[in-house]
Amino acid sequence: MAEEAKAESEVVVRVGDKEIPVNEEVLEVLQEYLKTAMPLEQLARKLGLRNWAEAYEFLKAVPAWAMWIPPAFWRIQAKKPP
């Protein structure tokens, strides 16, 4: 799965023993978190993490610039040939 994720996205965030690729779906969840009063517990559920602490570690590890990229733009950039 990690190899497929790296092919689709160059940004992969490691939280504990998990690797979470930053893709369009993850960006949509992150932007919902940024724009609403979503608690860390709910963010953890949406990202498939165990608890709020892992969600917090994920937020600390994800590059800040990636959180503000519109998901549609990310999709277009990901489909461009290298």
The length of the chain, given as a count of residues: 82
Whether the CA torsion 69, 75, 80, 81 is positive or negative: it is positive
CA angle centred on 68, ends 63 and 74, rounded to 5°: 90
**What's the confidence (pLDDT) of residue 67?**
87
How many domains is the chain partitioned into structurally? 1
58: domain range?
21-76
pLDDT-derived band at 76 (thresholds 50, 70, 90) equals confident
**What's the confidence (pLDDT) of residue 82?**
61
Q: What is the pLDDT of residues 24-45, one digit of tens each?
A: 899 999 999 999 999 999 999 9
Average pLDDT for 58-69: 91
Contact call for residues 20 and 58 (beta carbons, < 8 A): yes
- Threshold 0.85, pTM exceeds: no
Contact call for residues 52 and 39 (beta carbons, < 8 A): yes
Whether 55 is in a domain gets the answer yes
Whether 31 is in a domain gets the answer yes
